Structure 1
Amino acid sequence: MRLKQLKLKNFRGYKAETIVNFDDLTAFIGKNDAGKSTILEALEIFFNNKLVVCERDDLSVGVTEDSIYITCVFDELPNEIIVDASSKTSLEEEKLLNSNGDLEIKKIFKCSSAKPKPAVKIICNHPIDDGFNDLLSLKQTDLKKRASSLKIDEDSYDKRSNVSIRKAIWSSKANLTTKEVELEVTKEDAKKVYGVIETFLPIYALFQSDRSSSDSDKEIADPMSVAVSQALQELQAEINKIKSEVQQKAIETAGRTLAKLQEMDEELAASLVPEFKSEPKFDSLFKLSIKSDDDISINKRGSGVRRLILLNFFRAEAERKLSAAERNKSIIYAFEEPETSQHPSHQKLLIEAFLELASKENTQIILTTHTPALGGLLPTASHGSDKVLQKITETLGVLPDPISNETKALILIEGKTDIIFFNHLCKVLKENGEIDKTFQEANIALVPTGGCDNLKSWITMRTVDQFGLPFGIFLDSDKMNDTDNTKNISTVNKNIKHTRGAS
C-alpha cells in the first residue's frame, strides 16, 4: 500500500479539515512552528501511537467538538485478502473502497480521557439497502438466516464461508444501492477484515530532530525495529504457514471439544464458535540494538554521531534496495530536519540516500526542513508549481550562485568535480590547439546545482531567463545500457523542448 493523502481535523493547529497529498518523496518546507512536525506526528499517531501518543491537549483550541480526526487514504492496494484459510476476497468485493477506488481509514480520538484511544472507521461506498447494509457485522449463523430469508439458493454459496455468503446476498439484488458511509470495524468479519488490512499498512518510522536521551534511545532503536520488521516480512510466507498450521490444529481441537459438548447440550454447542481474537505479534519477540565496542551506550555519544548512524542506516537501505528487486510490505521513512547536527557533506549524502530510496517500489520518504542548502537539493517535483517554488525560495532564502556581469553563457553541472573535469579538459584541448580559449577565458560560467530538477537549479534558471543568457546542461547519463531512458536523460530532453539553448 502507498500513502496517498492525510486528512486532519481538530488536531493542534489544524482546526478546519486540512488535506495533505503525498508522493514518493514529500518535503515540508517552512519556518519554525508552521505545522510541519505536526503532520509527521499525526501520521505517527495514526500508524503506531507509541513514539508520539495522542493526548487530550492535542485537541485544537476553541473547537466545539471533543474529537480529533486523523484519516489516511491509500492506493496501490492488494489484489486479494484472506480473511481465513478458506476465504479469499478483496477490498473491492467487500465494498470497502471510497468513491475514488482508494482505501480510506478514519481514526477518531475522543478527548474525554487524557490519552484517548482511537475508534476506527472505513469510509467507503457501501450498500445502504435494508438487509444488505450490515453483512460484515453479522455472525455466520445470522448470515445464513439472512440468505435463507432472501430465498437464496444454498447451492450458490459455501455455507462454511462468510465471504461466499455475503457475495451471494449482495449479488441477489439487481440494483444494489451504495453510498459513501463511515463503516464500523468493531464486530465480526468487519473486525477480521480490518485486522487483515492492518497487516498490509505501511511501516511508519519517524525520526525526530529533538528527543531526549535514554538507555532505550528511540533514535537508534527505531531503525533497528524497522530492520526486524523487514526481516520478518522476508520470511512472511514461512510465518504464515506456521500461523496457519497452528490455527488449524487449534481449531480442530476446539471442534472436537464442541462435538463432545453437542452430545450433552446441543443448543449450547450450536451457539459457540472457535475464534482467534488477535494476530500474533512476532515483531515484539525480537529486540535489536547497536552497542559501542567500549561498552559506552550509543545514546551517550554526541547527537551528531547518533544521527550519523541514522544517515548510514538510510544509505545501507538505499544500497540494498538498489541491488534487490523487493516486493515486500511498504515502508514510510519520516525524517524531521535531517540536517540537524550534521556536517554539510553528510547532509548531501543523506538527501542522496533519500532520493535513492524514494525511487524504489514500496518506499516513501517524508521530511521537513527550513535550511536553504537542504531545500535546494530537493527535487522540484516534491515542491509543486512555480508559484509554490517561488514562495519556498523566498521563505528559505535559497539564492543562485553569484554570476559575474561579464558572464556570456552558463553551463549547469551536477557537482564541483565536474568543474575540475571541464577545467582540465579545456586546458588539454587548448594546449593541443583544438580550442582558442578555455571556458574561463570565454566568460562561460560553470554552475554546480546538484542536478537539474531541484530547487537550486530552478532558481538558477530564473536568473538565466532574467538576463537572457544562453546556457547548457551537463549531466551524467546514468545509463546502464544503450536503451536506458534514465531520469537525467528525461530531464535534459524536457529542457531541450522548453528552452532555446539547452544541450
Structure 2
Amino acid sequence: MKIKWIEIENFRSIRERQRITLNSDLTVIAGKNESGKSTILQALKCFNEYEFSEDDSSFSNERAEPEIEVCFELDAEELLITDNQEYDVEENSKFELIVTRSDVSYYNGEVIDLGIKPFEENIKELLFKIKQVLNDNLIGVVPNDLINNKDLENNDEYLFKQKFNSFLKSVPEDTQNKYLTEFDSIKEMLKNIEDEIEKKDYFYDCINSILPKFVLFDSFTDILPNSFTNKDEKQKIIERFFSITDCRSSNLFEVNGQKRKQLSNRVSANISGDFNDYYHQDTVKIKVEPDGDDIYFFIYDKDEEIPFRPEQRSKGFQWFLSFYITLKAEEKNSILLIDEPGLYLHPKAQKDILALLEKLSLDNQVLITTHSPYLIDPDYLERIRLVNKVNGLTKIENKFYKGADKDTLTPIITSIGLDITKNMTFSNEGNVIVEGISDYYYLSAMRSFLGSQCPIKDTINIIPSVGATQSLNMIALLLGWGLEFKVLFDNDREGNRAAKKAKQNFDLNDEDIVMISNANDDQVEDLFSEDDFINYIIDDYIEKNGTKNSSKIRGTGSDKVLISKRFKERINKGDITELSDETIQKFTSLFLKLSNRKQSPALLLV
C-alpha cells in the first residue's frame, strides 16, 4: 500500500488546506530552516496516533480543528482483505482509500465504494421494506411518528430500532398476537440490518489493520545509550537494536557464563557486519558486553583495542548508528519519516545516508526533510517538494521548479552544480566553456537529441562556468594545461564584455570565441523556436509567470537552471521526440561553429 497524497489543514503553521504528493519510493521536502518542513512530519505523526494537542491548532486560527487527510493506493490483492464478499476487479487495478482524521475519523474513495456501499445499500433496502410494512399494515396500530419516522428516511437504523423496541414494550399482548407476522417481519429485518452493520464494521477493522504505520525518527532523542539494565530493555531504541539481531535483550539476562558470552558475541557479529555495509567512513565493531546486571554497548575502531562508549563517538556517528538501527528494525508496510537526516554528518557520510534511504525505499515509502544538497540526487529532482513560509504560514509546492525563493532553492541548485563538477573531466581533443549550468544542460540535451547528426564530437566536453566573467578563469586554467578549447558567450552586454577581455588578456582569436548567435541580446533559450519554447521548455512555467517570452526567465537564475535541467531529463527519457526545423537548424549551426567544421550553405541562418 502506497500513499499518493496528503492534505493538511489548520495544523500549526499550515492554515489553508495544503496538498503534498508523495513519490512511490523517496520524497524529499526541501526548504530553509523554520519554513515548516517538520510540521508536515508532525502532522503525519498525529494522523498515525490519532491524537491532536492544543499546540497542533493553526497559529492563525486556533478555533479551527486540525485535519489531516491521507490518500492511500491499494492494489487488487490488498483489496481482498475480507471474506465477506468478492470483487470483480482486474488484477493490475489500483484503488484509492482516503482516510481523514480530525475530531472524528472517516473514510472515502473507491475502496469504500467497493467494500462498504453494498452493506449500506442492503441496509437502505431493509429500512425501505420496514417502512412499507408500517405504511401497508400498521397504520393506526403504531404511532404516526414511528410510521413517518425521520430516522427511516435518514437511514438511521439505530434510532429507529430504539424507538420500535420501546413501542413494543407498551403494546398489549393481544395486539402483538394479532399483528405477529408484521412485528416478526420487522424484527427479522432489524436483525438482518445488524448483520450488515457487523459486516461493515468488520470491513473497517480490516482496512485499519492493513493501513501502514508512520514511523518518525527524531534525530535528537532516539540515540543508543551507553548501557541498560533489565528495567530499561523496553526503551524503543534498545528493542529495535535487538530486533535486527534475531535476539531478545531479555535472553542476555536469562543466561550466565559461557552461554552469555557466546550470545553477546553472536549479537555483536550480526550487527557489526550489516552496519559496515552502509557506513563507509570507517570499519567499526559494535559489541554488546554484559557485566553483572548491566549490558554495555561499545564501539571499537578497526584494529584498535580501546573501546569507546557511544557517547564518546562523534555526534554524527551516534546519529548514523541510531538512524540505522531505527530504520532497519521497522517492519515492511511502514512509512518512514525522517527529520533532517545527517544533520551532524559531513558530506561524504550524508551520501551514505542517501544510499541507505534509497535501499530502504525499495520496501518502504520514505519521506525526509532537508536543506542539505548532499541528500538531493540531481538525477531524481522529481522527488523534491518545496516548502516556503509566506507571512508566517507554510506553503507547499509539489513542483521543484516553481514557487520558492532563492534560499529555498539553494540546496537544489547546489546539488546540480555538485553533480556537474563531480563528473567534470577535460578532454585533450577539445573543450567548450559555457557561461553557466543552464547552457550546459541545453547544449547537452540538444547534442543527445541530434545524436549522430550533431556536428560536435562526443569526445568534446562541455564545461559550465558560473557567469561570463568567471569564464575567464576557466580560460586561464585550460591554457595552463595546454588543452584545446572554445568559449561560448551570450550575445548580451556581459557576454560581449567578457569576450573582449578574453581576446585582450589571452590573445585568443575569433575562432576560439563563439557568440550564441548574431542577434543582439540572444541567449541559449533564444535558439528555440517560439512554439518549441512554449511547448517543451516553459509549458508549466507559464502557469507561474503567465509569460511566453524567454527573456522573462533569463535573469531568474534558479528557475533558469531547473527548467533547463528538466528539459535535459525529458530529452534523455525520450519524452520529447520532435522539435521544429528552426530549432534544429539554429543548434546545428552553433555546434558547427564549436566543432571547427565548415558550415553547409543549407544551414546558414539569416
Please give the TM-score of this superposition, normalised by the length of structure 1.
Answer: 0.50
Structure ID, larger Rg = 2
